[in-house]
Homo-oligomer: A and B are copies of this chain.
Amino acid sequence: METTTNRTYPQIISPSSLLEHWQGHRRVTRRVIEAFPEDAFFNHTIGGMRAFSKMVMELLAIAEPGLKEIVNGKPEVFDEEFKHDNTKATFLKLWDDSTEAINTYWTQIKLEQFQETVTLFGQYEGTVYSQILYFIDNEIHHRAQAYVYLRSLGIEPPLFYVRD
């Protein structure tokens, strides 16, 4: 329930619950990164697809910069080129930094904004809620591909439904 000045009213989901939903998924994705052997994270592929490290770069390039643009209204550049040393530890550090940044930016989104239309990264137009659902869905999508990569390596992936 959300509170306005004079009453409460029902919502499908509150902003804080949607953030928690997203961060729950991000915790799973973090565990998937951790589950990869160092080398396979950067090199293992199936059917000509990208290594999971490349997909994670995409996720890093979308989540924090996308949310930042929603909050600040200033165009962000979509940049999935990795400019750091290629270690899982670095990726996990960048992941954790984004997690914190997302928590901070989130508090700056007003409830009224979620149904406003914005254009992100100079080309993706849609409502704020649809942009955020896309961030989450796209993360689930690529992480699930990493589940297949892990299975093909004989590694048991983290449980999909454990989000804490």
Contacts and interface: CB of A to CB of B under 8 A. Distances in A.
Interface in A1-33: 1-2, 4, 9-15, 17-18, 21, 25
A130 B21 contact: yes
7 contacts: A10-B111, A12-B115, A46-B46, A134-B161, A136-B137, A138-B160, A145-B145
Contacts of A47: 148, 150-154
Copies of this chain present in the complex amount to 2
A133 interface: yes
Nearest to A130: B21
A142 interface: yes
Contacts of A147: 141, 145
A129 B21 CA distance: 11
Interface string A144-164: 110111111110000011000
Contacts of A114: 10-13
Given A11-B114, A138-B160, 11 more contacts: A2-B9, A11-B11, A12-B12, A12-B13, A12-B15, A12-B129, A17-B129, A47-B148, A47-B154, A140-B144, A142-B144
Contacts of A152: 46-47
A53 B15 CA distance: 36
Contacts of A14: 12
A126 B145 CA distance: 27
A152 B18 CA distance: 34
